[in-house]
Amino acid sequence: MTINKIAGSVTVSKGFKANGIHCGIRKNKTKKDLAVIISDVQANVAAVYTQNLIKGAPITITKKNIVNGVARAIICNSGNANTCNADGIEIAEKMCELVADATNIAKTDVVIASTGVIGQALDISVIEKGIPSLISGLNNTNGGTNAAEAIMTTDTVPKECAVSFELDGKLCHLGGIAKGVGMINPNMATLLVFLTTDVAISSSLLQNAISDDVKGTFNMVSVDGDTSTNDMLVILANGLAENNLITTTDSNYAIFCKALNIVTEDLCRKIAFDGEGATKLIQCDVINAKDLVSARKAAKSVISSALLKSALNASDANWGRVLCALGYSGATLNPEKIDVSFESQNGTILVCKNGYGVDFDENIATKILSATTVIVNINLNDGDFKASAWGCDLTEEYVRINGGYRT
């Protein structure tokens, strides 16, 4: 099985086009704020949503529209969450209608998403005026990047990834875009992720694949511990690669899941590294845990620790904060078996053995932690399970960004 990373995102798969424009939702005219992704044919669809009890109107409409397991289009705006608005459902339905009218796609085959400020009225007229330009600019070259830019809020860079692989001798593709750098503590989800593939796979297995995948990917990302109201992961599979339809958890399903995981892990790292105000990507790798739940709880707790995030921002090897986070993680572990080391492109240094500190050179540790990607290695020495989680350092810039986010 060979899965290759390739250039591109949601338009690498056969039969998909996308675009992103500035329509006027955001005051800054240099910022795109409206995106669309369209399949040439009906596609099977699956989604996972935020676990926040307060949900944006777009989620309500998307859930209703895809209950039959099929869709053809995704429309998303940035700059306004369309959440806690009295006319939110009406606006979300109207956005689906606008896409339908411009493309001859049924409005019930449109997925809708919004991201931005909560509780602020969304002016549908600017979206309506922008639809002709949005649709006329659909393409499979730079359309994916345009869409990735249009879903950004405080993101500093667009997030894209794509892979190619073979099933039944047919060349297949899977690509995605994502946004999310603040209000990130997915369970799932606290970001927007749109994936497309030309693989032929049933909607039920597509749902199984992403539901399983997010447990070890997007649910293992945290920037600030806040869970958003709007966000979701949606995947469209239009079958144009012409492989045999995947209807069972066979070897083709396993290959598809691996390809999916390569894309989602890549997007996870990009989301964490672009965390609001972040200067470092923090990855925590836990090995030899008693069970998978414990491995995931331990890794997620460490990258979520505000104290550790602050220490790593200053390249301070304050490893006690790692053990502290493990202690309240809820993971099953033996404190007297825990080993901890810090790793980066500048080297690796052991700081804790069997739950106790060891002598180490602070200057070497500082050099290791000064890299832009830092890995916290944890060996629980208590089983055979492992997990990874991704986060970022905590900076004064995060407070500045969120202090004036609305104004």
| CA–CA dist 27, 31 (Å, integer) | 8
| CA–CA dist 245, 242 (Å, integer) | 8
Main-chain phi, psi angles of 217, to 5 degrees: -125, -90
Among 11, 145, 190, 395, the active-site one is 190
Q: Is 190 a catalytic residue?
A: yes
Q: List, in order, residues 6 or more apart from 275 with CB less than 8 Å away.
A: 181, 182, 184, 223, 224, 391, 392, 393, 398
Pairing of strands 281-289, 373-379: parallel
End-to-end CA distance of the chain: 51
Q: List, in order, residues 6 or more apart from 53 with CB less than 8 Å away.
A: none
For residue 232, count CB atoms less than 10 angstroms from its CB and return exposed for 0-12, middle for 13-18, buried for 19 or more.
buried
Contact at 8 Å (CB) between 152 and 179? yes
The catalytic site residues sit at 190
